[in-house]
Amino acid sequence: MIRLENIQRRYVSDEVETTALADINLDVAAGEFVAIMGPSGCGKSTLLNTLGTVDRPTAGRYLFGDRDLVALNEAELARFRAMTLGFVFQSFNLIDELTIAENVELGLIYRKDAGGDRKGRVAAAMDRVGISHRARHYPHQLSGGQQQRAAIARAIVGEPKLILADEPTGNLDTENGQQVMDILTSLNADGATIIMVTHSPSHADIARRRIDMLDGRIVASLARAI
Ligand code: ADP
Ligand code: ADP
């Protein structure tokens, strides 16, 4: 489903050049659950942002299915993201002024095909992550674990092909972190492809493949025996 070929990402500021991604080659098949690990600054977020098309590589090719994403303009990429991707962040990124149900509905807002049964789809997504009883509450009225589950509902309400999660358990205690991992595991079992950055070795073990990064490169890729 995904192929990265010789992806590079360099930043230049004040004449200092940083190579965030040196030479990334990566294939991810539909239905995989991949964890990305590595020390701070090794390029994990840049890789996830590249996969999410919110950061453009300075060289290399990004193929998604049979499409070459590097060739798309910003409007085409925005549409691709809305139709194909779901994002989950460490800090939840819910909108404080909107209720949980309204936040979840944001996941449908740029989807043309979501016309008819929007409320039904929002209700189903909230039910899936166990926050239906919080639909009319505002984010600050929820615990961190509940907020992250709401953010996952927003990510999945449009039924994305690929879920990108950047340290989704990083701000959660052990129990809430495990709940989030259980939800991701269940979504993967139902066919969602997931790529997740994590600092937790035990959470990486839950994924079916673990990729280790160092200095902008992939230095190991290990599939778990099932
Ligand atoms: P966080 O870990 O808080 O999410 P970021 O993802 O914003 O941090 O940044 C990760 C790394 O990238 C940090 O080391 C930060 O200093 C560096 N960085 C981010 N943005 C810039 C920038 N505009 N110029 C230079 N370095 C940056
Ligand atoms: P990680 O997510 O593994 O902590 P990042 O992808 O955030 O790593 O960063 C990789 C490297 O790129 C780091 O050296 C970081 O400082 C640098 N970097 C990230 N974003 C920027 C930016 N916007 N401008 C300059 N350097 C950046």
CATH fold group of domain 2-223:
Rossmann fold (3.40.50)
Question: Domain residue spans in the chain?
Answer: 2-223
45 lines ligand 1 (CB under 6 A): yes
Which of 18, 44, 197 to probe ligand 2 with, by most ligand atoms within 8 A of CB? Answer: 18
- Alpha carbon of 145 to those of 3, 21, 173: distances in Å? 33, 32, 8
Average pLDDT value for the chain:
94
Ligand 2 interacting residues, C-beta cut-off 6 A:
11, 13, 18, 20, 38, 40-46
Residue 164, by phi and psi: left (phi above 0), alpha (psi -120 to 50) or beta? beta
Q: What is the pLDDT of residues 122-139, one digit of tens each?
A: 999 999 999 999 999 999
- Please tell me the predicted confidence (pLDDT) of residue 26: 97
Please tell me the pTM assigned to this model: 0.88
Q: What is the pLDDT of residues 136-173, one digit of tens each?
A: 999 999 999 999 999 999 999 999 999 999 999 999 99
